[in-house]
Amino acid sequence: MSIASSIGNNLTTNGVFTASAVNNTSVNNVTDFASVPSGGVLKLISEQTASSSATIDFTSGINSTYDSYVFKFINIHPSTDGDGSLTFQANASGGSGFNETMTTTYFRAYHTESDGTATLLYDASKDIAQGTSYQILSANIGGDNDECGSGTLQIFNPSSTTFVKHFICNASTYHSNSAARNDFTAGYFNITSAIDEISFKMDVGNIDSGTIKMYGVV
């Protein structure tokens, strides 16, 4: 049941909410969320929760059913303090090793809690030019108990066998230097084969805890 359907079922012909509208309908019963303008409905396909995990791999559910897929990584906490960055890669259909060729861009905003440093810059050390390594999404996540990184990665038309596969990511990180960091990553897998597997891992150590959810966009 969508929110729109729920509202419609609880309106009178005069457009007034019925007496049971609030008491009998809750967000917990909603299975999908209507789009914002120019957006789409997110359909949860699967989710994985890390527990000292070397990788979190999504090896099923990515196909031609949806034109794009959204991954939400939530409260990703590294096993090491300061050095760990969340990264990702992909496999083409029938491939292995998570080593597809990509070209990417990366820039970030940074602001310390002390207000001593505030910067916005392009970081060429974190982009990729026709490389096959994992791409950084959320950099230098702090390892203290309350520190983590969260964000959203969207991959467009991964099942296309005509075009390259574009992606964009926006991440918010509690940096190890007690700072807010906003990481912006974009690029494309420079392949025309379909992509059907996505892998996440820390570039140093393991993913100590956190959840990654995969959605299809209707």
**Which uninterrupted H or E stretch holds 185?**
strand 179-189
**pLDDT reported for residue 135:** 98
Of the ranges 9-23, 48-62, 107-121, 150-164, which one carries the lowest mean pLDDT score?
A: 9-23
Q: Supply 43's token pair.
A: 């359909």
119-139 average pLDDT score: 97
d(CA 95, CA 193): 10
Burial string for 20-47 (b: 16+ CB within 10 Å, else e) reads eeeeebeeeeeebeeeeeeebebbebee
125-129 average pLDDT score: 97
Q: Which pLDDT band, with edges at 50, 70 and 90, does 81 fall under?
A: confident
Check pLDDT > 60 for residue 27.
no
Higher model confidence: residue 46 or residue 6? Answer: 46
Q: Supply 53's token pair.
A: 């995990």
Check pLDDT > 80 for residue 100.
yes
Check pLDDT > 70 for residue 57.
yes
56-75 average pLDDT score: 97
Sign of CA dihedral 37, 30, 66, 102: positive
Check pLDDT > 70 for residue 148.
yes
- Structural domains of the chain, ranges and CATH numbers in brackets: 1-34 (no CATH), 35-217 (2.60.120)
Of the ranges 6-20, 139-153, 180-194, which one carries the lowest mean pLDDT score?
A: 6-20
- Please report, rounded to a whole number, the percentage of residues in the chain having pLDDT higher than 70: 81
Q: Count the neighbouring beta carbons within 10 Å of the beta carbon of residue 152.
A: 17
Residue 170: closest CA among 77, 80, 70, 102: 70
